[in-house]
Amino acid sequence: MARTHRIAWSPSAQRDLDDILRYVARSDSVTTALRLYSKLDDRIESLRLLPRRGRVVPELKRIGHMEYGELIVAPYRIVFHLRDHSVGIVAVLDGRHDLEEVLIERLAREPDGI
Q: What is the pLDDT of residues 37-86, one digit of tens each?
A: 999 999 999 999 999 999 999 988 888 888 899 999 999 999 999 888 89
6-109: CATH topology: YaeB-like fold (3.30.2310)
pLDDT in tens, 25-40: 999 999 999 999 999 9
Going from N- to C-terminal start, the domains of the chain cover: 6-109
Contact 3, 86 (CB under 8 A): no
Cis (ω within 30 of 0) for the bond into 75? yes
- Give φ, ψ of 110 to 5 degrees: -130, 70
Q: How far apart are the first and last CA of the chain?
A: 28
| Predicted structure pTM score | 0.87
Helices (H) and strands (E) in the chain, counts: 4, 5
